[in-house]
Structure formats: C-alpha cells, structure tokens
Structure 1
C-alpha cells in the first residue's frame, strides 16, 4: 500500500490588488520561501509599478526622449515585455500606458473598484512597442516623448517566474501564483501540481472547472470577468487592444494557457483575448495547450489541453 499523498505547504497574502499564493514541497522551507517571495515582490514593485511616483518605471518619464541607464532588474523586465510584444505581433504592448489611463485604469484597482467614469475623450491606439529602444548589454533605454509604459501583466508573470526559481534553490519544489498566473520550479509533488482552472482565482472551483496537473513550467489565465468598471454607458476592463486603445471585441471571457514560463503563458493568454476568433488557430500553431471560454460559456481547447473536465495532465 502506497503512502498517502502529502499536500504541499502553503501561504497566501494580498499583493498588488490580488492574491499571492506560495506552495512548497518541504514544510520546513516555507518561512524562508515566504520571505524570499515577499522580498522579490517588493523589489519588483519598486522598479515597475505605475501607481508609485517613486518607481523606476514612472521616473523614466522625466527622461523621455533621451537614453538613460536603468537597473538590471528593470532591464530584465523590459526585455521580457518587448519579447512578449514581438511574440504576439504587438497584441501585448508595453506602450499602452496612456491608453489604459484614458480607459480609466489610472490607480490601483482597489481604489478603482465600483467607480463610474464619464465617456471622456476618444480612445487612441498605443504608439507601438518598437519605438522603445532598449540596449540590454549596456543597461540603457530610450523611451520616446509622450509614451507611457505599462508592464503590469508582464511584470506580474516575470515576478512569478523569478520567485519560483529562487525559492527552488532552497532544495524544494515551488509554485508561485500571483492573481492566478503561476510558475513552478524544482521537483513537483507526487501527481504534479493540481490546479483548478476557472474565471477567477478567488472563486471556489466550480463543478465543471477542470483540475489539471502540471509537473513543470507555468500556467496563466487572462479574464475579462474581473477588474471591471463603467466608462460612460458601458462596462470596460483591464485588457486593452493596443490597435485601438479600447477593450477588445467580446469573444472570450477567459483564456488559460500552459507554457514553459509564466511570461510566455501570460502573453499568449492576453493576446488570445485580444485576437478573438483567430486565437485557437494561433495557439495551436504555436503548440500552446490552452482552454478558451466564450462569453456564452462554450469551451474551446487547443494543442493537447484535455477536453475532459476531470483531472488530467497538461504538458
């Protein structure tokens, strides 16, 4: 008779208007793992939060139009953001900062929740990620005038990847989830990391929500069911189509993607919300297992995502 499966040790805490979840396979490592996670999140917030006047990203606006030296951490995050933009043909674009503000997302969501905003000025497309000139070897970047960067989604995924990898150096398996975007590192528990996939990481698992198992890599979910507010006579949300500066056409309410890193999974999930009906083929061509839920609840899967809602493994 085999011994019972030992559940990983866990801790949760609020961060960035969402929830951080940390799981480790060694209970004794949990206190140090939590300290490492909190340290990573604090460092990344200080570098790339757009809601802090003292963040390095916000302070870049004072040097608009000039190449300036930036920290190694911001260099890595901007590299990740520009790589995500290139991989998604610009559908995930860090130059959407002004478009996001114009849409109404101009403060931490905890302060935005429940607000009703006037329609305001017409929305405009993002300037384009290719305008940002980053020299990662020199640690220098030039952001043109009138461009505001927003690396929030990529930064969150980057934080999950980085924290999980660092925690795994303690000799344990680690899973870090930030608002439902999760990364793993080190040895997985027996049977893999079991993850319920739904519209919201906060809501209890629904009867039809699949539970999948991953033994390595990452899983990210983008959804328009969360972070919503009113602008004029319509509801808008936090995912912006850089081509228009507006929310994308309502095709998918939630997209979950498995990939080798959380940055890649997050970029693909967000791009799929924006891409709309062409997303399943785009994901399949890139061999990214994904689950897409339409606004009427119809589910489409791609590239080997298990269609059976019972527990299954995602490669």
Structure 2
C-alpha cells in the first residue's frame, strides 16, 4: 500500500509491504506516521509564529521547557555544530530570511525578524535534566537540516512491525526491511544536473539515505546563493554539488549530508569517515567520491 501527503515543504511518500489481512493495521500505522510529520512540523518550523520553536525563542534569557519533538532535533543540531566548529549552525535562520528563504510554502506568509546578526549556536543553551531551552540574544533557529530526518525516523518507528516499508520525504528516506520481492530496497541517487538520470544506485535495508544539494533550492533574491548557507562567510559553498549520506537513522543522514556539504571537499570527506557512515559526494566537476565501502 502507498500514501502521500504534503509536509515540511515536500511530498511525503510512505509505502508498506502488506498481506491482505494486515492492510487495516498498515493503514492505521501510516496515518500515525503522517501525524508525527505534522507534529514535528508544528514543533520545529521557523515559518509559523505559533510553532513551539518560535514561541520558545521569543523569551530571551528565560529557561523554557520544550517538548521532545523540539528538544531532540535541536540537541543533535547543536552537537553537529560543535563537531564542525560552527560551519553547521542552527542559528542560520536570519541569514536564510535575508537571502529570500522567508516564505511559508503553504500560506505564502513572509517572515521578517529583527534579531542580532552576531548570534551563533553558542547562544543556545539546552538543559538536558530539565529539558529546557534558553537563548542569550534574539535569533532565528533553522532546523531544516535535522527536523525532516527526525520526522522520518519517528514515522519509521511506527512501521517497524511490517516486513518492509519506505518513508520518503522529498528524496530523503528510511527504508525498512525488504521490498515486495524480498530484496533490499533500491535507491537511486539523482544526477545533480539532470533529473532524468541516475548517477548511482545503491541497495539498503534498515538504513536512511539523505541528500543535500545546491541544485534544488536557489535564492529568489541573491544570485549564487542556495539554501546551504555558510553564515560565517555569508556565502553558499560550491565545492560540492551534491552530498548523499547513508546512516542508521535519517536524523544522522540529514545532518551529516548538510555538514559535509558546508565543510567542503577535504573536511567533508573526513567528517563522513570519522563518524563511520557511507557517502556519495559529487563535486562541481561531477567527480564522484564514494566513501565507506559504497
């Protein structure tokens, strides 16, 4: 069975391998999986003034208790920020707004926040014991590099009892078990310059594959800027054109594909190797780097 819905500015496609007698159970599980996408979007979106994220960050210098749906992806984003010395920085939200990435995909509402230009991930403080968030100065947190992967993982957890399933959110996916033929799921990595072509095909089972690329979302207001942005240098790096990472969880694959892209060739490859993941990284000359045994 297969269902699709729209969440997080992308089409979420869920497929489940089912026997006839388990179809009703699969329908219910898929509905729960979609509901988790809705809840994560409500918690983590910077585009809605009513989201848990935006409400919490309006309280400067105050410890605000937040739900696990916000706390967990934010905690992971801050860990990756530390590992990359701030190249991957969830406080990039204001810079994204300034470069035209400030319109909600459904409402078309436009964001304008007057915040500190000097804010970094170090201005975000999480208290793990009490599950609270504090920020030191006005800032805009963007969880676009972790929230979708987190939602994919939660959805996959709802489907784990089935022999095979795939949760695909705009090309970022988790493939569980085996496909309808009893084989690993075949995943095609899109050619970054020609959507009709595949540059690599891999087979996965109980793994996630996420891709960060410069070819999908370009700034509507600034030439040469795409949605992968280095706030320190105020540029979009272009050593890579596409970075795909294979990991046990989509949260990891999502974050590390973005981090590898932002770090550039040498440091990006080193990062994927250091965290023992697999990667298919494509540079601006279309040279393919296969990491981790692919």
1:1-315 mapped onto 2 (5 Å cutoff): 9-26=1-18, 28=23, 29-109=25-105, 127-169=119-161, 171-185=162-176, 187-189=177-179, 190-199=182-191, 203-204=195-196, 206=197, 208-232=198-222, 234-248=223-237, 250-278=238-266, 279-305=268-294
SS of the residue corresponding to residue 199 of structure 2 reads: coil
Distance 1:241 1:125 in 2: 13
User: Following TM superposition, by how much is the alpha carbon of 1:109 offset from its aligned partner in structure 2, in angstroms?
Assistant: 4.9
List gaps (5 residues or longer) in structure 1. Answer: 1-8, 113-123, 306-315
Describe the shift of the 1:54–1:238 C-alpha distance in structure 2 as closer, same or farther (beyond 3 A).
same
CA distance in 1, matches of 2:60, 2:157: 34
Q: CA deviation at 1:73?
A: 2.0
Change (3 A) 1:25 1:125: farther
Consecutive unaligned residues in structure 2, runs of 5 or more: 109-115
Give the TM-score normalised by the residue count of structure 2.
Answer: 0.86
Partner in structure 2 of residue 117 of structure 1: none
Report the Cα distance in structure 2 between the residues aligned to 1:70 and 1:284, rounded to whole angstroms.
Answer: 33
Is the Cα contact below 8 Å between 2:46 and 2:140 reproduced in 1? no
Query: Which range moves more in the overlay, 274-283 or 56-65?
Result: 274-283
Q: Given the superposition, is the C-alpha separation of residues 285 and 70 from structure 1 closer, same or farther in structure 2, using an over 3 Å criterion?
A: closer
Q: How far 1:110 sits from its partner (Å)? A: 6.9
Instruction: Tell me the TM-score normalised to structure 1 length.
Output: 0.81
**Aligned-partner SS, 2:264:** helix
- Paired residue for 1:6? none
Structure-1 separation of matches of 2:273 and 2:140: 33
- 2:246 aligned counterpart, secondary structure: strand
1:245 positional shift: 3.4
For 2:118 and 2:281, the matched residues in 1 are separated by 26
- Partner of 1:127, secondary structure, is coil
- Cα separation, 1, equivalents of 2:235 and 2:262: 10
Deviations 1:219-253 (A, max 9, x none): 11001100113434x232111113223312x1111
Q: Is the 8 A contact 2:281 2:288 kept in 1?
A: yes
- Counterpart-to-counterpart distance in 2, 1:89 and 1:182: 27
Partner of 1:240, secondary structure, is coil
Output the aligned Cα RMSD: 2.4
CA contact (8 A) 1:77 1:158 kept: yes
Count of residue correspondences = 279
Please name the residue that 1:119 is paired with: none
User: SS at the partner of 1:210?
Assistant: strand
Residue deviations 1:39-87 (CA, integer Å, cap 9, x gap): 1111111111111111011112321121112223222222222233234
> For the residues of structure 2 that align with 1:50 and 1:15, how far apart are their CA atoms?
14
- Change in Cα spacing, 1:259 to 1:174, as seen in structure 2 (3 Å) is same
